[in-house]
Structure 1
Amino acid sequence: MSEQWSHNVHYHPLVLDSVPEGCDAALDVGCGDGTLVRALASRAKRATGIDRSRTMIRQARRASYQYDNVSYVDSDFVDFAAKARDGSYGFISSVAALHHMDFDSTLTAMGRMLAPGGRLVLVGLARHHTPLDWARDIAAIPVHRFLARRHGGITEPPEVPVKDPIMTWDEVRQGAQRQLPGVQYRRLLLWRYALTWDKPVPTFSG
């Protein structure tokens, strides 16, 4: 468990538990201060974090000096993905960053960068659209208060960029199913969703 706590950090174990056995290379998109990347370093041979905030990347590098299998890239994901080889990573994650990027093109790029048999896990935010969405909000409040009190409050680096999500929960689910056939969508309690997708391994007949 990290020394800090937030709704995003709360779901880091969900991401970490999804890393495939024997993962060679893991990538965390929108890595912030590198908390999740450092945890991924114990589950994969190599862990890379990418973030377009130079301030965040500087913080991540300072906190990761003792890790010899961790690296960080100061870049916009679009530029990074354009240079990345197909199938470069056995695991790709992103927590609370997808709504800062173009949804369709980002999922397409992540799918291309993922190795056959690799896994993609995204935890994200979406926009309320129905009465059920607001009802879920109310149900989460007691849990939020309990966890925040237990962890001494919510801690987020002050430089983290904030943006309201544009896509609704249904739009996220439908868009993910369109871009990544077979993707699993889960609505999480603390105002998040999770997308999990295993890239198919090609089968050859002959």
Structure 2
Amino acid sequence: MEEYWNHNAHYHPLVLDALPPGCATALDIGCGEGLLARRLAQRVPSVTGVDLSGEMIARARATGPSSLTFARADFRDPAHEALPAGGFDFVSAVAVVHHVDFSEAVEALDRLLAPGGRLVIIGLARNRTPLDWLLSAAAVPAARLRARRHGGETVPPGMPVQTPTMTWSTVRHTAHRLLPGSRFRRHLLWRYSLTWSKPAV
């Protein structure tokens, strides 16, 4: 399963476009079977992917390339050898942070990021207002059209599913508090992006 499309993979180009100049080390949190990590490796010399699922890590290792490093790990674990503090110029987390406590996740991601590095989160949130539900409904035909263009939507077997508990507005306000200067954008296909550049000093 080298290439496929789904609502998460749809935003991989956004993640790749956020790579900082001269990026030498990248970490993909919740890498699954490694699609985004493989795409990052085409631009970044050293890429690590971590996931809690041993099954997913085995699949990621099977699809290579050998230059990639994959490890079964909880990104919140400061003692894991694959997750050195400040060890990465770029950290991505696609459809991950809604599985855990948001504040705890952000604190861990900040710890992993090198000074001057960049963080990109692609996340999910819960609808609460009538506008939220209207925007979600408007995404249905757009998602169907994009899936048709890509030969259908593919979800790798074994991928965990978790219903988000934080609302869109709560995510935005919490992110701005925890990551001053971060940029929050709500996107059409039921996702938001959060981009933050860590101060160099």
TM-score scaled by structure 1?
A: 0.92
Q: Report the counterpart of residue 148 of structure 2 in structure 1.
A: 149
Q: Report the counterpart of residue 5 of structure 2 in structure 1.
A: 5
Kindly state the Cα deviation for residue 67 of structure 1 after the two structures are TM-superposed. Answer: 3.3
SS at match of 2:56: helix
Runs of 4+ with >3 A deviation: 81-85
For 1:16-68, what per-residue CA distance to the aligned partner results, in whole angstroms no more than 9, with x for missing partners? 1111121111000000010000111122110000000011000000001x332
Q: Report the counterpart of residue 75 of structure 1 in structure 2.
A: 73
Alpha-carbon distance in 1 for matches of 2:74, 2:108? 13
Q: Report the counterpart of residue 172 of structure 1 in structure 2.
A: 171
Kindly state the Cα deviation for residue 77 of structure 1 after the two structures are TM-superposed. Answer: 1.9
**Is the CA contact 2:56–2:158 (under 8 Å) kept in the aligned structure 1?**
yes
For 1:138-182, what per-residue CA distance to the aligned partner results, in whole angstroms no more than 9, with x for missing partners? 211121111011111110112001110011101111111111111
Alpha-carbon distance in 2 for matches of 1:115, 1:78? 16
Kindly state the Cα deviation for residue 201 of structure 1 after the two structures are TM-superposed. Answer: 1.5
Report the residue type matching 1:8 in the other structure: N
Q: Report the counterpart of residue 31 of structure 1 in structure 2.
A: 31
Q: Which runs of 5+ in 1 are unaligned?
A: none
For 1:82-137, what per-residue CA distance to the aligned partner results, in whole angstroms no more than 9, with x for missing partners? 44433210000011111112210110111122111110000010000000000101
Report the residue type matching 2:38 in the other structure: R
Q: Report the counterpart of residue 197 of structure 2 in structure 1.
A: 198
Q: Report the counterpart of residue 90 of structure 2 in structure 1.
A: 91
SS at match of 2:98: helix
Kindly state the Cα deviation for residue 3 of structure 1 after the two structures are TM-superposed. Answer: 2.0
**Equivalent runs, 1:37-76 vs 2, <5 Å:** 37-64=37-64, 66-68=65-67, 70-76=68-74
Alpha-carbon distance in 2 for matches of 1:77, 1:91? 14
SS at match of 1:11: helix
Alpha-carbon distance in 2 for matches of 1:87, 1:44? 17
Q: Report the counterpart of residue 99 of structure 2 in structure 1.
A: 100
**Is the CA contact 2:118–2:197 (under 8 Å) kept in the aligned structure 1?**
yes
Q: Are 1:186 and 2:190 an aligned pair?
A: no
Q: Aligned-residue CA RMSD in angstroms?
A: 1.2
Q: Are 1:162 and 2:129 an aligned pair?
A: no
Alpha-carbon distance in 1 for matches of 2:176, 2:53? 30
Alpha-carbon distance in 1 for matches of 2:136, 2:130? 10
Residues paired across the two proteins, number: 198
Q: Report the counterpart of residue 111 of structure 1 in structure 2.
A: 110
